[in-house]
Structure 1
Amino acid sequence: MPDILGGGAHTVRSHGVAVAKIHKHDWLILLLLVVIEIGLNIIEPFHHFVGEEMMTDLKYPLKGNTIPFWAVPIIAILLPFVIFLIYYFIKKDVYDLHHAILGLLFSVLITGVITDAIKDAVGRPRPDFFWRCFPDGKPAFYPTIAGNSTANVSGDVMCSGINSVIKEGYKSFPSGHTSWSFAGLGFLAWYLSGKVRAFDRRGHVAKLCIIFLPLLVAALVGVSRVDDYWHHWQDVFAGGLLGTTIASFCYLQFFPPPYDIDGWGPHAYFQMLAESGNGNQSSATNVNHANVHQSELQSIYIQPQHG
């Protein structure tokens, strides 16, 4: 990995306030996303119709969470944050630290807002919905009246359980645990791939193992949701896809692709170099790297010809 700082460090103390001020509007948007996320968890979700014949797939046991709700922010936010801090203490690069944290928070919060908005709009019952709705095990349904589509007379469930438990029972699709985990750990996987130069064409499989480890943890979180009967497999699949997609967009908003020659640092760092007059030196370095790489390829693929 190149020495990104040269002779001078850019620390939180020396450049932190200036970097944060440039992105003050982004931090305000983050606060707005937090407010929206809280609101989406307060409102009542759509109550999807659940008829008597639909209960066959909704009678799984009502269990606790293998991975509790409070553990998800630790896995998706705190764990990547610790790794960002470790890298910062090694390289003293506030640009990398700031944009990694900002990108991570955007990834998780945007994912959370989209996930909960879809949950509230779809209102899909969880696999354990029967026991949430009828904790005494005695099902009851509104009588069906021909020609009348009103919810309370159409054969829908007449739940007798606790309102908060029933409300949570209509939030199966997509899986929030899974989408948050893939948003945070997916962003971390992108981050690590840039730092270890995973795609430098040298073929070190160990680098791929480093990248896949966060994704494995996120996948295990998703599997636990099916094992606990809180989600159908489709919910977990959609949550994983959603979190990974948003993490990718957020990472590439702040960092170059990992296979890029400058994939080890944030866009803002190179912009700072250009604005401070050191951009030419950086560009010259990039050209040298490109020339060396081209020479290596020629030495490998161009065979000497003898007349």
Structure 2
Amino acid sequence: MSQLISYCFPRSREDQSNPLERRISRGGGESQSRAFTWRRLVSSYWSDWVFIGALWIIYLSISRIPGHRREFSLRELSLQHSYAEDERVPENMLMFITVGLPLIVMLPVASFVARNAWDVHNAVCGLFMSFTMAGVITQAIKLLVGRPRPDLIARCQPPPGQQDSPVYGLSNWKMCTQKDFYVLNDGFKSFPSGHSSLSFAGVGFLALYLAGKMHLWDVYGNRNRAWFALSPLLIGAMVAISRTQDNRHHWQDVLVGSLLGMCVATIAYRTYYPHLAHPTCHLPMLPRVASDDTDDQVDLETGVRLLNDQQGIPRQSEEEEVWRRA
């Protein structure tokens, strides 16, 4: 089992004396490790938690707003698909795929393989950052665009014999007889696909997390591990495809939603982890400046905190600094 874990989750092949993994000294003095403490955790990441909570509130607040309802033609064939009462991926299953599945995979890896308390926090915080950011961006675009879904006419239930306006040749939502306004208003939220963006925001973050732990972007090549690390993306693709099967979205909605979710997942991942080509990409980023770190040297020209390794070599930026449990 230990050999299997070592094969799937290799550490950096570089010298273990790599200063990126060493203890960091304060002002060139005695070295000290970035050990996990609740005080340092709160001091470093309280603003992230507030930001995630605010995004969650915004997402829930705007998800049921009617938004813009674009005019449409009753003769448009792309809007005449049937309305599916039961979706292939309902919202509870989407939440499991987006949040539950990544947590089921990342928490054991961070707790028992990496054995790193900072890694546990960064994985969870990054995942919720990705989910809430993707949700807010997707819903905001939906409200502004107001593109009809492929099943809009079935949702609308126009009166028998209803025709498009003879002047401009289009109809609007006011001629619909649908009594359920949620069903009707939701029919104008096709672009982009929320299921696609949220699923790729979750499983995309998971794929990046596994890719970092497995060092897929090093110079050695890791074909077998790549199949496992990137397999979550297949789940996201299946969720996205199901939206076209349910007549909920056009293919453009699914494509843009998937790309949006993956972009947000990449941004959230890079907030807490180094880039995948970094020699220590399996480690989380260094905790941010805490109240007990005020003695660190500061570059007066750039305002960047200077951190020294045990050999006293100054580092001009902490962006690539990472932390490993001592």
Whether these two folds match at TM > 0.5 is: yes
Q: TM-score, normalised by structure 2?
A: 0.74
Alpha-carbon distance in structure 2 between the residues aligned to 1:172 and 1:232: 7
2:89 counterpart residue number: 67
1:170 counterpart residue number: 188
**1:181 corresponds to 2:199:** yes
Residues 242 and 139 from structure 1, CA distance in 2 versus in 1: closer, same or farther, beyond 3 angstroms? Answer: farther
1:41 counterpart residue number: 63
Q: Percent identity?
A: 31
Alpha-carbon distance in structure 2 between the residues aligned to 1:265 and 1:179: 27
CA apart distance, 1:154: 6.2
CA apart distance, 1:202: 2.0
CA apart distance, 1:234: 0.4
CA apart distance, 1:92: 2.8
Q: Please say if residues 34 and 109 of structure 1, whose CA atoms lie closer than 8 Å, have aligned partners that are also in contact.
A: yes
Instruction: Choose the corresponding residue for 2:116, options 66, 78, 93.
Output: 93
Residues 139 and 86 from structure 1, CA distance in 2 versus in 1: closer, same or farther, beyond 3 angstroms? Answer: farther
**1:113 corresponds to 2:130:** no
Secondary structure at the counterpart of residue 267 of structure 1? coil
Q: Larger relative contact order (C-alpha < 8 A, sep ≥ 6)?
A: 2
Q: Deviations over 1:203-239 (max 9, x none)?
A: 2211110122011110010001111111100000000
Alpha-carbon distance in structure 2 between the residues aligned to 1:139 and 1:174: 32
**1:23 corresponds to 2:45:** yes
Which stretch has the larger CA shift, 197-206 or 113-122?
197-206
CA apart distance, 1:45: 1.7
CA apart distance, 1:264: 0.7
**1:51 corresponds to 2:73:** yes
CA apart distance, 1:281: 5.3
Secondary structure at the counterpart of residue 309 of structure 2? helix
Alpha-carbon distance in structure 2 between the residues aligned to 1:30 and 1:19: 16
Instruction: Choose the corresponding residue for 1:237, options 212, 232, 255.
Output: 255
Could you list the runs of 5+ residues in structure 1 that have no partner in the other structure?
A: 285-307
Could you list the runs of 5+ residues in structure 2 that have no partner in the other structure?
A: 1-10, 24-32, 297-306, 314-326
1:264 counterpart residue number: 282
CA apart distance, 1:18: 3.0
Number of paired residues? Answer: 271
Instruction: Choose the corresponding residue for 2:309, options 280, 285, 288.
Output: 280
Whichever residue aligns with residue 239 of structure 1, its letter is G
**1:80 corresponds to 2:102:** yes
CA apart distance, 1:15: 2.2
Which stretch has the larger CA shift, 15-24 or 114-123?
15-24
Residues 244 and 282 from structure 1, CA distance in 2 versus in 1: closer, same or farther, beyond 3 angstroms? Answer: farther
Which structure 2 residues correspond to residues 109-258 of structure 1 after superposition, within 5 A?
109-134=132-157, 138=160, 140=162, 143-144=165-166, 146=167, 155-157=171-173, 158-161=175-178, 162-258=180-276
1:288 counterpart residue number: none
Q: Please say if residues 44 and 289 of structure 2, whose CA atoms lie closer than 8 Å, have aligned partners that are also in contact.
A: no
Alpha-carbon distance in structure 1 between the residues aligned to 2:118 and 2:310: 19
- Root-mean-square deviation (CA), in Å? 3.1
